[in-house]
Amino acid sequence: MERASVGNRIAHKDRFAIFVSGFGRGAIEIIKDHAEGRILPTLGLILSTNPESQALEWAKQHGIPTAVVLRKGKKRRSYETEVVHVLRENTIDYVFLAGYAPIVGQTLLTGYPDRILNVHPSLLPAFKGIHAIDQAMEYGVKVTGVTVHVVNESIDSGRIIGQEAVRIEPGETFEDLDRKIFEKGMALTRDCINAYFTSQWLCLPGTECRGKT
């Protein structure tokens, strides 16, 4: 995919949140890109199901609001009602899932229809679900990759916004491949956020421009 330089970020009315559940390495890179002016929309919230996520600390250091909403012990509808309330409080328009563990349910999908993107470490529709990199290595494919897609009712099945291929070289370890996919994925994430999380849907190179709905 051709890369476009955004340059100095101009204040943009569209606001997005990042959802995380783990350490938050992807979210941290997005925070860095936002701080350096490579992200067009405003990063308005980091929401985590994990109070120990390092993304929360990075967000605080950069003046980005944070929220911890625990998932454990709550029914999905109750949990997502709480999440939607937090998003509304922070005037969030879009959501990007960056290592977010809970399956997105109807309450969140209804609150943010076609406004949630996820990054997945495979060339969807291949290797859906968890352990996608392991799946690719065990299957013996020569090429895998990373996909950003719209989140819908089915796991890793929403409309594809962008993809990048990654070749699996002989003798590569999981760590080698994970690093390559992560690096490709961060560049793709930046492009997709800038294209999709704005008032007007901008076509990404090599994709069909059909609008958000």
Residue 205 has pLDDT above 60, yes or no: no
Domains and their CATH numbers in the chain = 15-196 (3.40.50.170)
Q: Is 149 a catalytic residue?
A: no
CA distance 108 to 129: 19
Q: What Rg, from alpha-carbon coordinates, does the chain have?
A: 17
> Are the beta carbons of 108 and 87 closer than 8 angstroms?
no
> What pTM does this model have?
0.88
- Residue appearing with tokens 């606001």: 15
Which of 12, 34, 120, 131 does the annotation list as catalytic?
Answer: 120
The predicted-structure confidence for 112-146, as pLDDT tens digits, reads as follows 999 999 999 999 999 999 999 999 999 999 999 99
How far apart, in Å, are the Cα atoms of 9 and each of 28, 38, 186?
18, 6, 18
The predicted-structure confidence for 27-76, as pLDDT tens digits, reads as follows 999 999 999 999 999 999 999 999 999 999 999 999 999 999 999 999 99
The predicted-structure confidence for 152-187, as pLDDT tens digits, reads as follows 999 999 999 999 999 999 999 999 999 999 999 999
CA-CA-CA-CA torsion sign (174, 179, 184, 185)? positive
